Amino acid sequence: MTAPLQDALLDVRKAYRLLADYQQRMFELLGYIREQLGASAYHHQYVYPLPQGLDGLEKRDNSGRRYLPFYDLSAIWLKNGGQDAPWDNHLPGDLMFGAWIRSDTGFDQHSGQFSPEPVEQTRSELVLSVVVCDRPAAKPCNWFGNVWQGIDYPEDGEVNATDLPGYRCFSKAIALDQLADKAAIEAALEEWRTLASRQLGLSVDAFQRLDDRHVHS
């Protein structure tokens, strides 16, 4: 084995261990944010679902990325009034949160390609979004199939109120390097809540855990 190959394989072993630690931290971050928002786990979306088999992967140029299902993962959470089957039965004021772990802003989900921009110039972000139901759509209307897939992200910090009548989406990116500890996470969440409240015309309490709401009452 040549020295360059030995060095490359050493980098791979280091990368796997680093990636495992990173993803573990991100799962913990997602769980903490979901709890702070008072939401419940609902669904998720992969850019690259794990292939069901190996046949033919050698003929595809994206097979390496397809074995990174965490890459650009979006966690989807619901917050509602406790009605039955809330994923299909929407009420005014119901919320759907999205937490998109955008590990590299140089990657384009639609093209499946990396930009020529040097990786040192790209960013790692958590894109935190929320969709509020103002007027429930006619049934059947599923939060994932009809709403999540029917509304585009607005410009950063803005609201999309046009794609799906009765539903509005707010989205704001948070730099991952600003989320180094619990205090930093809570500060970033508070800033996000404040902006979401102002842009959507909702109380900050809508984005709080139930037992935290008295703080803002």
Over residues 161-200, the pLDDT tens digits come to 999 999 999 999 999 999 999 999 999 999 999 999 999 9
Q: What is the mean pLDDT of residues 142-153?
A: 97
What pLDDT sits at residue 1? Answer: 65
Q: Where are the alpha helices (DSSP H) in the chain?
A: 3-37, 63-66, 182-200
CB atoms closer than 10 angstroms to residue 67? 12
Scored b (16 or more CB within 10 A) or e, 35-61 reads: ebbbbeebbebebbeeeeeeeeeeeee
Q: What is the pLDDT of residue 216?
A: 47
CA distance 143 to 139: 11
Q: What is the pLDDT of residue 217?
A: 45
Mean pLDDT of the chain: 93
| 147-173: average pLDDT | 97
- The answer to whether 132 touches 202, Cβ cutoff 8 Å, is yes
Share of the chain above pLDDT 70, in %: 97
What percentage of the chain carries pLDDT values higher than 90? 80
- Residue 50: the pLDDT is 84
What phi, psi does 168 have (nearest 5°)?
-125, 145
Cis preceding linkage at 140, omega within 30: yes
Helix axes 3-37, 182-200, angle to 10 degrees: 60
33 with 99: CB under 8 angstroms? yes
- What pLDDT is recorded for position 190? 97
pLDDT of residue 203: 96
pLDDT of residue 210: 78
Q: Each residue of 68-83: pLDDT tens digit? A: 889 899 999 999 999 9
pLDDT of 212 > 60? The answer is: yes
Distances (CA, A) of 135 to 38, 76, 163: 22, 20, 14
Mean pLDDT on 120-132: 97
List the one residue out of 129, 132, 99 whose CA is nearest residue 200.
132
What pLDDT is stored for residue 213 in this prediction?
61
Q: Yes or no: say if 90 and 58 are a contact pair by the CB < 8 Å rule.
A: no
Q: What is the pTM of this model?
A: 0.92
**173 to each of 26, 39, 49, 110, 140, how far by Cα in Å?**
15, 19, 24, 19, 31
What is the arithmetic mean of pLDDT over 108-126?
Answer: 91
